[in-house]
Amino acid sequence: MEYRKFGNDFVLRIDKGEEILASLKALCEKEHILLGSVSGIGALSSVTLGVFDPREKRYFSEEYNGAFEIASCTGNISTKDGQNYLHIHMVAGNVHENKVFAGHLNKGVIGLTGEFMVHKIDGSVDRTFSEDIGLNLFEFRD
């Protein structure tokens, strides 16, 4: 991964073979980003996407391998228990094979290149697990 900083914005190139979430987490740790937004495009060699089942209160994930374009990748950065917490969703597809997959990004390996933007927001928002919902929700503290 290589990146440049412009004010509170970061432009990243994630290289072939690198994992998206690991790269974003490394940026957050190095640049002390506790709150922000993420968007990106690029090409994948593999991706693991999940969907949350509200009845069972758990994620179900599937891994897909092959050539995929990132049609959309968007999400946010917050914290949970003092650690960076990335909540990213992705749509990835292969028009040639007539395949499109979408969901919560669990893992994404860049197949060619990834172009991502991160906007740092000054401040922090933590997350707390909700027994009722089954997810880690934003918690706003004074």
74 closest CA partner among 97, 41, 32: 41
What does the pLDDT read at residue 142? 67
Distance CA(53)–CA(30), nearest Å, equals 34
Query: 131: Cβ–Cβ under 8 A, 6 or more apart, which residues?
Result: none
Report yes or no: 67 and 43 within 8 Å, Cβ to Cβ.
yes
In this predicted structure, the answer to whether residue 135 has a pLDDT above a threshold of 90 is yes
Q: Give me 19's structure tokens.
A: 């994992």
Distance CA(65)–CA(111), nearest Å, equals 10
Q: Give me 129's structure tokens.
A: 């697990």
110 closest CA partner among 51, 70, 50: 70
pLDDT, tens digit, 9 for 90 and up, residues 95-106 = 999 999 999 999
Q: Give me 25's structure tokens.
A: 């987490």
124 backbone dihedrals φ, ψ, rounded to 5°: -155, 150
DSSP assignment string, 70-101: EEEEEEEEEEETTEEEEEEEEEEEETTTTEEE
pTM value?
0.95
Percent of the chain past pLDDT 70, that is, above it, reads: 99
When the candidates are 3.40.50.300, 3.30.1330.80, 3.30.70.1140, 3.30.420.40, the CATH number that belongs to 2-122 is 3.30.1330.80
pLDDT, tens digit, 9 for 90 and up, residues 39-73 = 999 999 999 999 999 999 999 999 999 999 999 99
Query: So where are the chain's domains?
Result: 2-122
